[in-house]
Structure 1
Amino acid sequence: MQTISATEAKRRFDVVLDVAQREPVRIQRYDRDVAVLVSVAEFDRLNSNRWKEFNRLKELAGAQAHANGQTEEILAEILASH
Structure 2
Amino acid sequence: MVSIKIEKLDEGAYLATSDVLPGLVAEGRTIAETMEIAQDVARKIIESYIEHGDPLPPEMAPASRTVRNIKIPVAVT
Instruction: Answer yes or no: same fold by TM over 0.5.
Output: no
- Provide the TM-score with structure 2 as the length reference: 0.33
- Which has the larger Rg? 1
- Provide the TM-score with structure 1 as the length reference: 0.31
